[in-house]
Homo-oligomer: A and B are copies of this chain.
């Protein structure tokens, strides 16, 4: 079956962009792994029911953002060029990504109020049973979801956090609004798992792909923990860099 019918002409979204987004989601979901050769421009043009030049423009856009690499005479390949994600005391998602992408943003997936269990209480240095705010966020870079994170905060210290995050799309900015001008990572723990089914949906991964699981405790300038994060990061898109 051709995908021709899936392309909306005259919809206000250019064909090359629709095709680029479709190709990106197929690459990024792990259907094409690093180094894989794509179908030829001629085949792609037929598949999408457009002119070869239109496909070339889509490929140009994906090449620009580092996802593809085209070799004259050989073909077009998945470059994947994993985003470098340095882990250190000054780790900030937004600052890391800003230098490596065209556009990015954080979206609030859900939020909840819940009591601290023993584990969370220890991480945040509060008494078990203390009311916490949980913020579930999805960070998207150049149209591809990168990380899915649970963030916990002490509710009494950050009552307006959910609204501030929803407005700014940035935890750093939401904390600033609550008077936390600076903070640093005290500890980062890293492991890896096969992605959960519900996480796979949000991260646009196929369900057999690995994710890195990163837990981090962030402290303010007085060494007081202000938030604890548990992030799932699509391993096919990110390379963690631990500096020393």
Contacts and interface: CB of A to CB of B under 8 A. Distances in A.
Contact of A17 (B13, B136, B163, B202): B13
Contact of A111 (B11, B14, B197): B197
A112 interface: yes
B17 A110 contact: no
B198 A111 contact: yes
B12 A201 contact: no
A14 B10 CA distance: 10
Interface in A201-221: 201-202, 207
A14 B162 CA distance: 32
A201 B166 contact: yes
Nearest to A15: B12
A178 interface: no
B111 A109 contact: no
Contacts of A136: 110
A121 interface: no
A30 B229 CA distance: 33
A50 interface: no
Interface in A169-194: none
